[in-house]
Amino acid sequence: MTSGSLHDGFVPGRHLIDAYGNGGFRFAEMSHRGSILATPAGIRAWDVAHPGAIDRNALRPIHAEAGVVELLLIGTGLDIAPLSEGLRRWLKEAGIGLDVMQTGAAARTYNILLAENRKVAAALIAVA
């Protein structure tokens, strides 16, 4: 992440995604190359570059905010990629709904739901 105030790849607070593409995202008057997790606690760098790397470990920060997060949007890049039934069940048991879509659609949907003050999080894989 560049510019703005951040700590260890994390910027606290709820922020709209201002732009996406070219391998990264813009939000909170800063830009970040690579994937991100956006939760009610803040936005952090996410070390996931392809849908096959999405597992429980990758989604632990979301799972840790269960109760504060009611819906998780996962942007799997340019194509929609299915998630395992085990991962879906793990999120459901924590009370977290799930919607998987292309990254652009997930970022736009996240912004709409955030503006409505919904309890939403997004796991967004960067696209070129």
Domain assignment of residue 102, yes or no: yes
Q: What is the reported pLDDT for 9?
A: 76
Domain assignment of residue 88, yes or no: yes
Domain assignment of residue 113, yes or no: yes
Helix axis angle for 85-93 and 56-63, nearest 10°, is 20
Domain assignment of residue 99, yes or no: yes
Residue type, 89: R
Q: Is 28 left (phi over 0), alpha (psi -120 to 50) or beta?
A: left
Domain assignment of residue 5, yes or no: no
For residue 124, give Cα distances in angstroms to 70, 97.
17, 16
How confident is the model over 33-61, as pLDDT tens digits? 999 999 999 999 999 999 999 999 999 99
CATH number (domain holding residue 77) = 3.40.1230.10
Per the structure, how many domains does the chain have? 1
pTM for the predicted model, two decimal places: 0.92
Q: What is the reported pLDDT for 58?
A: 97
Domain containing residue 118: 10-124
Percentage of the chain exceeding pLDDT 70: 94
Domain assignment of residue 112, yes or no: yes
